[in-house]
Structure 1
């Protein structure tokens, strides 16, 4: 027994030693395999980050997916329009480029490729190829007409119902219909233009023409900028530099004046709405009534704190009544046109922040609130419409999290909400005409994108398309969301952190803060890679920790979250950004002496705020297209958030970065497009002048042919310039 026990102990000892040996071997082998895998993976190059982001590294799905009718979908793939049924998972070819080109040739229609298309009805397709719009009937397999705008025609706007297209040439508005070009306006006075967007695309304005539902009328903006001083821009690329002035009304200065014309296509006559009030008010969110008898217009005073929704008679241009009003001590910002009821022409859906959050309301045209349809401390971010019987409305919202977007069905009687998707992420819906089915196109941090087919009770039918992970072969730094408290110590903020490639927690790394921080932008979202820019991964591959925080003032968090910046742009945002810095400094692997910052536009302004208000924290900054002095920014945006300079002199002074130049300590570079007509070059010039006067060394680089953003292949040069600045000094 004793010998047996000794033998057993020896065996146990040997096995134990063997286990430890094998563990070491496995660890060494694992580390070796990990190293081999890392070596086999690609590193993100600057070309990949800049040129590949929206080309060869963009996750592709099937193209131009859309509903043909309530039971079938169509999409474009390999020069063929394919059709697939809701119930039938098989796809069949509907039309090919070859077939269409042959048919077009016989009908004297220029048709080389399918290009952009959409279904007007289930049997009629509208093709848009450059300046040619053509109509094709699937039953007859024939082109049934075409509209061709001039090569110098711009801002085209099609009415399929009228078989007409509006376009702008020079100062004037034209319509092409029945093979004829009709000149709608005949302006010759310099500074006047018709049919283009107004108010510098604020208030949700994206275009300048608005067809009535039947196409009988065309409403349009007439913009008179003759009273606005020319702002000098210079084209340096000509033999002799040439002036290319623009109209740029700055905060507190004279603004342009806008009126709204209505062209009767059948009669060939034009009348104008008789809007009242000061000439420099804002006319926004134009909506046609379903019977085309009335036009509805959101009219905002120049101070942007009082809005009236007014009803006008189309025939006379006369104001009928004010339907509702909104006013706030800060600002009112109407952004959405009315959507009229499908069952009652006297009722409409109104999407506004009336209670501090973007929600849906149902009103009648007498101005009576029937009911608030959605409510809560979250925002409706899209209103898709209602079913035919108006039992349900369908929306996209931030109800689960500000980082996510989900699709919901809202019971219009009791407000009960049903979430129609089942995965965290950002979801966008496209509904069948009957609202019985929907496509759900979504992505999330680990999902490059997929499109699911669902019933509108949320039931998943099948996945239609799933994008490939185009970054699968790349070695990337870890990307994660962090939660912070704002400077008020109660509001939750969200940040995104990307760790350096081959991260070692025992090392110290420099950190770069990428910042925007202003209204109408949200940088951190639950989309693929948390909405990161591929340049962040490039910098992470060079050993930098990349960090971004959406501070108070940014989008989709409600009125109170945004308006904390009112009359003091940059102040509270900087405090919130510094809470992010506090978080970075709490991490043992962040080198507190090597923190940099970069941003563009409002982000350029915030870069200056951080460099100048917190000079002991930031070693290096790169400010692109920065606002320096809000008195030199345009009227609509500037006065909304800062009021007029004469009303808020202390605020303008505090937010003027020229007044903080004396605190500059770190390395700072400004970059500006010479043709910038959004944040004009004057901002950088005044800042540079102040630096010279105060003997502060800064660096500056200009892009001679570019406006506010540097695009195209030149962007590779830009990002190389920015990267190298951090390589050299951080």
Structure 2
């Protein structure tokens, strides 16, 4: 009955009233990209002070100084060059100021945009992946299956590795993308050597995923190193193009199970720098290695912590001095800051002397200024600053409030500033490196102007320790303060994910607004453990995931309950992944608060989660048995009182099926009723059209049991 009534109300609001009375459909709430302020995809044209973007005519270039616009390449011209029949412009990048790079159907094309002709085509074999270019050598390295190859400028391919054992994997991501690792191929600056990861997964246990697409079903086994169990063994090879030989770097700091990240070549291509992290992730050494012999030259310095060390980025060498580099860490002064070192490991200075997390954004060719994004104005904002390397004087370059995304030109003479705030849908400005705005490139109109939007508020409350907890609150459409409304408490709560920021609509997902349009108060708050708040704020969760986070989340709900228009008897909670873990944690630990929960892809017990992430925040089960037992949701199954739906991708390689099925099994043992809905062909995040079904399932559950 409730679903029918909801449909009738929705249809009447869609068709019977003026434009401002439109409400979202479920499809719009899930895949309605047109409802988000969309900025032009802008790239600098190689090292030119000219930026490019797509418009109706094709690929357009616009000079930074005069604003002169030139159509560089149309779709018909591109089709003629590469022999295709494209309807729109594909993804592209710039190799230099005149060379456009387009990848399609196993080929990579280098195109001269001035002459509008093909410069070069690289044709890769079937199954090729991880293509990585060396500009100096005009070559591509790539992988097929578990081996590494490179292709020279004549199109000839050569094998770098030839491992028949499928447990040995070369040139690919290691450590499950943790520690800032996004690839496994590292060309030297001169293009004469090729560094690569080699991982041995022989001792890593397999986990079976069920593929139901065949007649009888198949098991697809993945390597999944669980916390406290055997993990992959990672080494670093360096292949010499001229001799065709490989040396492996002598990395033996912490035994066989260690992590190698921040791989950085010296500008002269003779030395490789690696941040070597022990498996416990509380001790890091920055080492330098001879690229020709593989021998370790020195340990420049070490980082130790009682909790964890978290290297995320490689070194950045000074453009005017190859004997100095920038190093980023939050393990010195409590925040991610930039430190200037020489190549012998001597600290020259703390370059960004701010009590806020910062991220490197660029450096001019003279090495006079370093540009960085910072949270020092507010933890919910990103602002661009520059610091004078010699004097240490810093200057704020983006005066407008909000979250700024910056693209520096090749010589850092200009930058493109794309930003939004709760007040501004999206502006894109061109500015000089001193922060002076040259002109507005784009001003994005409010895409939601025709919809009846619930009021969105960005604010903060105080945690028990006095720190600020930032929230966003969405009131129901046509809000009446004299009514009482049910609450949807959306939660994530885990590290590396900030849900509340000062961007348009305070970073809402459209499903949140959909629920507000159908009579719910929607509330989201960032707890301790989330980023851009400094090391102490994040690491308080160490060895007890979920405990402090729950206190913060409940603090927010107790504040929300103080408003007379909140129905304290109708509060539901929903989250995915870490948010699924938080959802079940909250509904079982606080049954008097939460009546209904929907948990997606939930971590149930951290001993079943991957070692790289799990051991950082929980240590190993052997080191922290009390902590693992305390936060495990297996023991909480018997305490479930409210209505709980668990949704799970059946071929999830991130939070494997063992988690949710084990919780269901425990509910059965304790005669506790729980609802369960698997998505048979979905991985960790249910995507595409299936996601519309998922969010309707979530919505229906709240409609049935919370309204």
For Structure 1 versus Structure 2, the TM-score category normalised by the shorter chain is: over 0.9
CA distance in 2 between counterparts of 1:129 and 1:582 reads 54
C-alpha distance after superposition, 1:254-283 (max 9, x if no partner): 111011111222332222111113111111
Name 1:84's counterpart in structure 2. Answer: 62
Name 2:673's counterpart in structure 1. Answer: 697
Name 1:217's counterpart in structure 2. Answer: 193
1:320 to 297, 306, 311: 297
2:473 to 481, 497, 502: 497
C-alpha distance after superposition, 1:125-154 (max 9, x if no partner): 222334221222345443221112223112
CA distance in 1 between counterparts of 2:684 and 2:49 reads 45
Name 1:707's counterpart in structure 2. Answer: 683
CA distance in 2 between counterparts of 1:266 and 1:467 reads 52
Moved more, 138-147 or 299-308: 138-147
Name 1:569's counterpart in structure 2. Answer: 545
1:40/1:467 CA distance change after superposition, 3 Å: closer
Query: What root-mean-square deviation, in Å, do the aligned CA atoms of Structure 1 and Structure 2 show?
Result: 1.7
Kindly report which structure 2 residues correspond to 1:85-234, keeping only aligned pairs within 5 A, or say none.
85-104=63-82, 114-177=89-152, 178-234=154-210
CA displacement at 1:332 relative to structure 2? 0.4
Kept after mapping to 2: 8 A contact 1:350/1:363:
yes
C-alpha distance after superposition, 1:580-606 (max 9, x if no partner): 011111111000000010000000000
CA distance in 1 between counterparts of 2:246 and 2:574 reads 50
CA displacement at 1:246 relative to structure 2? 0.7
CA distance in 2 between counterparts of 1:163 and 1:128 reads 16
Aligned residues, how many? 689
Name 1:51's counterpart in structure 2. Answer: 31
C-alpha distance after superposition, 1:144-183 (max 9, x if no partner): 2111222311222222332222221111111122211211
C-alpha distance after superposition, 1:555-580 (max 9, x if no partner): 11111001110000111100111110
CA distance in 2 between counterparts of 1:218 and 1:166 reads 8
Name 2:3's counterpart in structure 1. Answer: none
Kept after mapping to 2: 8 A contact 1:116/1:129:
no
Kindly report which structure 2 residues correspond to 1:257-656, keeping only aligned pairs within 5 A, or say none.
257-276=233-252, 277-353=254-330, 354-380=332-358, 382-488=359-465, 490-656=466-632
CA displacement at 1:58 relative to structure 2? 3.6
CA distance in 2 between counterparts of 1:720 and 1:139 reads 51
1:547/1:286 CA distance change after superposition, 3 Å: same
CA displacement at 1:82 relative to structure 2? 1.4
1:507/1:139 CA distance change after superposition, 3 Å: closer
C-alpha distance after superposition, 1:504-554 (max 9, x if no partner): 000000001100111100000011111100000000011000000100011
**1:696 aligned counterpart, secondary structure:** coil
1:71 to 30, 49, 68: 49
Kept after mapping to 2: 8 A contact 1:124/1:136:
yes
CA distance in 2 between counterparts of 1:187 and 1:36 reads 67
CA distance in 1 between counterparts of 2:413 and 2:510 reads 38
CA distance in 2 between counterparts of 1:92 and 1:505 reads 55
Name 2:642's counterpart in structure 1. Answer: 666
**1:475 aligned counterpart, secondary structure:** coil
CA distance in 2 between counterparts of 1:303 and 1:658 reads 25
C-alpha distance after superposition, 1:443-483 (max 9, x if no partner): 11232222101111111110011223221111110000121
TM-score where L is the length of structure 1? 0.92
CA distance in 2 between counterparts of 1:70 and 1:456 reads 15
**1:657 aligned counterpart, secondary structure:** coil
CA distance in 1 between counterparts of 2:581 and 2:113 reads 54
CA displacement at 1:114 relative to structure 2? 4.3
CA distance in 2 between counterparts of 1:191 and 1:79 reads 49
**1:474 aligned counterpart, secondary structure:** coil
1:316/1:113 CA distance change after superposition, 3 Å: farther
Kept after mapping to 2: 8 A contact 1:387/1:393:
yes
CA distance in 2 between counterparts of 1:536 and 1:606 reads 18
CA displacement at 1:322 relative to structure 2? 0.2
1:422/1:36 CA distance change after superposition, 3 Å: farther
Kept after mapping to 1: 8 A contact 2:45/2:96:
no
Kept after mapping to 2: 8 A contact 1:395/1:407:
yes
**1:628 aligned counterpart, secondary structure:** coil
CA distance in 2 between counterparts of 1:719 and 1:594 reads 20
Kept after mapping to 2: 8 A contact 1:68/1:74:
no
Name 1:11's counterpart in structure 2. Answer: none
C-alpha distance after superposition, 1:25-54 (max 9, x if no partner): xxxxxxxxxx997675211111110021x3
Higher Cα radius of gyration = 1
Name 1:722's counterpart in structure 2. Answer: 698
Kept after mapping to 1: 8 A contact 2:458/2:502:
no
1:273/1:586 CA distance change after superposition, 3 Å: same
1:41 to 15, 21, 28: 21
**1:415 aligned counterpart, secondary structure:** coil
Gaps of 5+ in 2: 1-14
CA distance in 2 between counterparts of 1:65 and 1:222 reads 33
CA displacement at 1:111 relative to structure 2? 8.1
